[in-house]
Structure 1
Amino acid sequence: MAQLEDNLGALDVRFIPEQVARPEAASAVELGFPHDFLARPMTRNVVFGDVRLAARR
């Protein structure tokens, strides 16, 4: 029971934004091909035909 309570105590840890940003920046990877290619406006226009869906009201 003591180990469970100790483990559950770890759930109460709070990080400041700088502590979160540092490992995120260190582990960021450039996705490269095909992600960059598929994100291009011309490619998206060819794939999706520049279709825009209106929100339902």
Structure 2
Amino acid sequence: MNTTLSHLLRFRRDQGGEGVISAAIVVLIMALLGAAMWSAFNGIFVDATTDIQNTVDSIGS
């Protein structure tokens, strides 16, 4: 077996877990983005609910 072929085969064996690790990193990034989006969404609607309730109370009085 020539050295180029043996180096290619060794390199191919060394990359066995790369797909799993990359997928795990992507899942963690997406989870963090989802948590940040939920936090922003929740904050916006809590503020909107408070503003609407204050406006309705001022109209009613």
* TM-score category of the 2 structures, normalised to the smaller one: under 0.3
Greater relative contact order, per chain length (Cα 8 Å cut-off, separation 6+): 1
TM-score scaled to structure 1, two decimals? 0.26
